[in-house]
């Protein structure tokens, strides 16, 4: 049987966890908005058309912040189309996803929805087809108390109090050729700088996220970060990172190793930020916003067959299986282990579109497999991240050498009364005995061990079997000391009470 030996020391702290690393994302894409969070006429819809069943699951995930309205969508979006009387809003050709956008849902609806879901809204501005003028007007519309053209328009649209949106993204994936209004690093750096300046002049309390690379594999990475920060360092607070993984070649050992790359991505971006800070003789650290991450590949082929110019077509509707939940768990472990630098992150997305929640239009909603690791991390992963030193055997894949069979993260709760260890056993054949030295934490007792595992790694939660994969309580933990059996290919949440 495989062994993993870990040591966790109370003094060896990675950093405080910003709860916003458990954020998510809603784009005007497919059935994320229409048929996802917003479906007037649905039996579970409230008077505003917000699906209460979906809100219930979002609350179960306890998502602290949600990014909106894109994504690629934002780079062609006129935010003014989505305000005012719904029947007067224009219907447009939407060029990011080749759909029809009716604009029945817009900024004010999103702010109201986020409030109801208990999440802070995070808005992106269009730096593809637009620039500083539209962005500063949007900040004025959302955040200025009143007495000006845009703030009074918000009031006359029925929103007397400002939305007070704190976090703003300066465009989306501007390094990508697929992006409407794609730019070189210098072009983006200049427009992002000028946009940031005027947005903060309208509201100096806001925080801004500059677009980093849309993936570690981009040919412009990491020069992109260096150049854009050269232009924007003074005005921005975060730089973004995006990553999606897939198992196109059905090589599960390799798929489970991919999050190692996410860790390298974070560390490289942090180094570039520090290098720019040094060059600028700057005082502030640029923080990281990993504002799109997930597994995404199941829907690639079906999406290529969806006809253009439909309203809310079924796009990016990945049905996640057990091995995808393990990858999501591993990505969460990477985020927690980099909590000193990653201060926001958004699983992309929240409903229907590459999402932990799936709905049937007019019907029920369900939890996908990836719902569970996200829920566990969001529930139990708040406090301080402690370093986990693991001694465990390793394996090589065709892309990643020396991958540890077990990866883990540990979180000391804010009240210091409990410690939660999140661990994934990547071994596809054997269970692993996980022992952990916790001497610095005093008397500890294991309060529970939750496991998500299944013999069939391709098993999923479907409309016909919505609860095929769900967590169970394990009974294999020895009382008093930490010795747990991690089943083969499993996600584990081990909760300890501290005296």
Residues 205 and 223: beta-carbon distance below 8 Å = no
- Using DSSP, state whether 96 is helix, strand or coil: coil
Least separation, in Å, of the C-beta of 461 and ligand AHR?
A: 21
Least separation, in Å, of the C-beta of 252 and ligand AHR?
A: 24
Complex with ligand AHR: residue 324 or 427, whichever CB lies closer: 324
Name the nearest CA neighbour of 449 among 427, 426, 421. 421
Which of 32, 208, 239, 348: binder of ligand AHR (CB under 6 A)? 348
Which of 26, 32, 72, 293: binder of ligand AHR (CB under 6 A)? 72
Question: Among 15-23, 65-73, 361-369, 438-446, which window interacts with ligand AHR (CB under 6 A)?
Answer: 65-73
11 exposed, middle or buried (CB, 10 Å; 0-12, 13-18, 19+)?
A: exposed
Report if residue 70 touches ligand AHR, rule: CB under 6 A.
Answer: yes
Residues 346 and 291: beta-carbon distance below 8 Å = yes
Encoded tokens for 193: 């700088």
- Using DSSP, state whether 219 is helix, strand or coil: coil
Residues 436 and 297: beta-carbon distance below 8 Å = no
> Which residue's Cβ lies closest to ligand AHR?
71
Residues 6+ apart with CB under 8 A from 278: none
Question: Among 68-76, 107-115, 201-209, 394-402, which window interacts with ligand AHR (CB under 6 A)?
Answer: 68-76
Report if residue 436 touches ligand AHR, rule: CB under 6 A.
Answer: no
Active site residues per annotation: 173, 292
What are the Cα distances from residue 183, in Å, to 54, 128, 199, 420? 36, 8, 20, 43
Least separation, in Å, of the C-beta of 248 and ligand AHR?
A: 16
Name the nearest CA neighbour of 317 among 460, 215, 456, 116. 460
Q: Residue 360 is inside which H or E element, if any?
A: none
Report if residue 291 touches ligand AHR, rule: CB under 6 A.
Answer: no
Distance CA 323, CA 337 (A): 21
Which of 39, 292, 318, 454: binder of ligand AHR (CB under 6 A)? 292
Strand partners, 72: none
**Residues 196-235 contacting ligand AHR, CB under 6 A:** 214
Distance CA 126, CA 437 (A): 50
Which of 108, 109, 173, 203: binder of ligand AHR (CB under 6 A)? 173
Complex with ligand AHR: residue 208 or 408, whichever CB lies closer: 208
Report if residue 313 touches ligand AHR, rule: CB under 6 A.
Answer: no
Complex with ligand AHR: residue 354 or 453, whichever CB lies closer: 354
Complex with ligand AHR: residue 72 or 195, whichever CB lies closer: 72
**Residues 76-135 contacting ligand AHR, CB under 6 A:** none
CB atoms closer than 10 angstroms to residue 413: 17
Which of 24, 27, 167, 293: binder of ligand AHR (CB under 6 A)? 27
Question: Among 5-13, 64-72, 188-196, 457-465, which window interacts with ligand AHR (CB under 6 A)?
Answer: 64-72
The residues of the shown chain that bind ligand AHR, judged by CB under 6 A, are: 27, 70-72, 172-173, 214, 292, 348-349
């Amino acid at each position: 049987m495989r062994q993993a030996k870990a040591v966790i020391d109370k003094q060896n702290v990675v950093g405080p966890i910003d709860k916003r690393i458990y954020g998510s994302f809603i784009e005007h894409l497919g059935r994320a908005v229409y048929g996802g969070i917003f479906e007037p006429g649905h039996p579970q819809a409230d008077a505003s058309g917000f699906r209460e069943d979906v809100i219930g699951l979002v609350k179960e995930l306890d998502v602290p912040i949600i990014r909106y309205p894109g994504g690629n969508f934002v780079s062609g979006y006129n935010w003014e189309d989505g305000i005012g009387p719904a029947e007067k809003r224009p219907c447009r050709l939407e060029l990011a996803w080749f759909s029809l956008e009716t604009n029945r849902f817009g900024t004010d609806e999103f702010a109201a929805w986020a409030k109801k879901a208990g999440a802070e809204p995070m808005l992106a501005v269009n730096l593809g087809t637009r620039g500083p003028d539209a962005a500063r007007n949007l900040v004025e519309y959302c955040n200025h108390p009143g007495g000006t053209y845009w703030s009074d328009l918000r009031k006359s649209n029925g929103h007397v109090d400002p939305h007070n949106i704190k976090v703003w993204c300066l465009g989306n994936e501007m390094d990508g050729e697929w992006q409407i209004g794609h730019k070189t690093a210098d072009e983006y750096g200049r427009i992002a700088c000028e946009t940031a300046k005027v947005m903060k002049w309208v509201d100096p309390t806001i925080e801004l996220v500059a677009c980093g690379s849309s993936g570690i594999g981009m040919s412009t990475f990491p020069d992109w970060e260096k150049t854009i920060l050269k232009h924007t360092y003074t005005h921005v607070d975060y730089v973004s990172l995006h990553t999606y993984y897939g198992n196109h070649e059905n090589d599960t050992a390799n798929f489970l190793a991919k999050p190692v790359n996410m860790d390298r991505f974070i560390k490289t971006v942090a180094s570039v930020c520090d290098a720019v800070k040094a060059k600028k003789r700057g005082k502030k650290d640029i923080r990281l916003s990993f504002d799109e991450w997930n597994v995404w590949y199941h829907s690639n082929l079906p999406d290529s067959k969806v006809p253009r110019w439909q309203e809310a077509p079924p796009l990016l509707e990945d049905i996640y299986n057990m091995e995808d939940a393990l990858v999501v768990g591993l990505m969460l472990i990477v985020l927690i282990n980099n909590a000193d630098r990653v201060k926001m992150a958004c699983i992309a997305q929240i409903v229907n579109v590459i999402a932990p929640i799936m709905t049937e239009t007019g019907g029920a909603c369900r939890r996908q497999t990836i719902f569970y690791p996200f829920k566990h991390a969001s529930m139990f992963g708040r406090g301080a991240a402690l370093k986990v030193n693991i001694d465990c055997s390793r394996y090589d894949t065709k892309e990643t050498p020396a991958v540890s069979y077990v990866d883990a993260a540990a979180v000391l709760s804010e009240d210091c009364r409990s410690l939660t260890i999140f661990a994934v056993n990547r071994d596809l054949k054997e269970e692993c005995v996980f022992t952990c030295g916790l001497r610095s934490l005093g008397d500890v007792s294991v309060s529970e061990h939750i496991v998500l595992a299944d013999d069939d790694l391709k098993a999923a939660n479907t409309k016909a079997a919505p609860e095929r994969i769900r967590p169970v309580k394990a009974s294999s933990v020895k009382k008093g000391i930490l010795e747990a059996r991690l089943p083969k290919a499993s996600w584990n949440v081990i909760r300890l009470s501290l005296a």
